[in-house]
Chain A
């Protein structure tokens, strides 16, 4: 599904990703771990298409497409979803209109007619329950005045609405208390299907108690320095990131 070869990425002339290899198949859950500032968020943003990052080498193919040729909106329409580490507040744009615009544009891309207003509202209500976001959500502006936990649940809610094929969740666990963490993890687990894949980016092993990965990778100084099964996360927790620096 996703295949990254020898990726090099710069921002403001500084190289952040330095020759990264990474691939994901349908049905898999990958966890990418690593200390702060090693390029985890950069990798997520590059896959989603944020313009500020400059890819200076390597390739990313997704479903056989050259991902780097696609605009961010087309990547989303092809099934890529980024759960933001810091979801943006957009005053004046309601969640309803935001999601309705997004869903209908994605439907149009697939050659489907727009969803009728009534169907849309029912669909939205159903998905809200998944992450235990209350009804009041619909009339609120995107993320405006949301607590940290609400913002993260709102990301998972959007993921549920858009049903992506490849979801990348960037530190979705940061700033969450244990109850919110369970709600978020539960949402992600319910959305798991054999034909989609999830990449969970996290600093702590804690989230992986709830979202059990098939593979764990350690990202350090712009490269994946170690990969393994879920037990790698436990080893990392035990030995700390200092251990990685010695590898």
Chain B
């Protein structure tokens, strides 16, 4: 069974699934193939999401799905040192670095590594064979393959991705960085599948980067399941810097146990079409989920952030803050859904989405949705879409600051609130630099070389002091 080049139409994907059935293996028990078949049935029934569906009203996959892609069925054996194929630009950023290249895990000595503290990191494919009990217990248990067409498609074809297991009582000393790189001189359709398991009383800081290098059309449909054990903590950062030809769908499922803590920070700097779904199930009491996001889009880019927090148990807290700056003809959508189930008494749940549009062509759709069945709860939501504060702009200009720098200061201050939530100093500094570069249009230069540099002000604002 070779990797095929084709338009990923539902019928052809079904045919491909039938043809490839023999070679689609993950682990060596029946659990995986039963799950695959079920998932394929779901996808066959639902097809791809389309804009007639409420959840996809603002994000149109149609154009991206009419492109012929190389469908990565069989993981290529990527034997390399991950640090050789990816140079992280974050200075003084000490991490354990692991990467996926075009959907396949990259390794030099072994497909599964054990860190000095006992944490296991490796290829999903290899780990499925080594840790069958963990997989039987967790794999595919959280991602919704009955209602989610893309989750189902990913599950049907999943072959590789990153597996992390932090055993009970282990606090991983350095952040683990997982980088998903797309670098092929042809259009590619990849479906990475990641499984992150954190035991009890454990702690992990995870930095998850999405990068693409070549200017080729590429479609990524990723699913990641996170299991955070009792009294454990996950500090999760998602950094997205994709080129304008990229379509990236991220389905993140977080499962929280008693007294566990999740902080997720999704930073989107660039990307043609990005959809981030974060589904948080608070299945324990005394748990806390903080979900932050920042998106800075321009040209014709589109980002859609959807956050669903399901409070199933009492005494938990969730807190969402997503902020975006939308320029040119770019568009953004935000959907925040908080569900407080009947038993989830004494829940505190907050949600806020704030947007600045810089042109009258920039579009933002924001939809907060609270669904509350318990009576003793505190919930609030807020959503704003606006321009920069004219009074603040005038105040800055009245001190001699030019319009461009005044706008820059206000936009930077707006965005920096999210950067301020980052607890890793090197990453925070880098994020602040990225925000500054992005707002000055310098990231676009690297990406598209439209020579925005001509209208750069000669005087540089020292953002480190903001």
Contact = CB atoms under 8 A, between A and B. Distances in A.
B398 A92 contact: no
Contacts of B392: 88, 90
Contacts of B397: 49, 71-73, 76
Interface in A69-99: 71-73, 75-77, 81-82, 84, 87-88, 90-94, 96-99
Interface string A82-119: 10100110111110111111101110110000100100
A76 B395 contact: no
Interface stretch (B282-290, B306-314, B377-385, B413-421): B413-421
Contacts of B416: 92
B387 to A, nearest CB: 13
B454 interface: no
A158 interface: yes
A101 B395 contact: no
A72 B412 contact: no
A1 to B, nearest CB: 18
Interface stretch (B30-38, B160-168, B201-209, B402-410): B402-410
A91 B413 contact: yes
B116 interface: no
A50 interface: yes
Contacts of A72: 394, 397-398
Contacts of B394: 48-51, 72, 88
A43 B59 CA distance: 49
Contacts of A81: 398-399
Given A90-B392, A91-B413, A49 B398 contact: yes
Interface string B436-466: 0000000000000000000000110111011
Interface residues of A, number: 39
Contacts of A104: 459
Contacts of B406: 73
Contact of B391 (A88, A91, A117, A158): A88
A96 B463 CA distance: 11
Contacts of A77: 400
A24 interface: no
A92 B391 CA distance: 15
Contacts of A76: 397-400
Contacts of A94: 465-466
Contacts of A117: 462
A232 interface: no
A105 B396 contact: no
A236 interface: no
A49 B399 CA distance: 11
B413 A105 contact: no
A95 to B, nearest CB: 10
A82 B466 contact: no
Contacts of B463: 97
B401 interface: yes
A162 interface: yes
Contacts of A88: 389, 391-392, 394-395
From B389, B391, B417, residue with most partner A Cβ within 10 Å: B391
A161 B395 CA distance: 15
Interface of A: 48-52, 71-73, 75-77, 81-82, 84, 87-88, 90-94, 96-102, 104-106, 108-109, 114, 117, 141-142, 158, 162
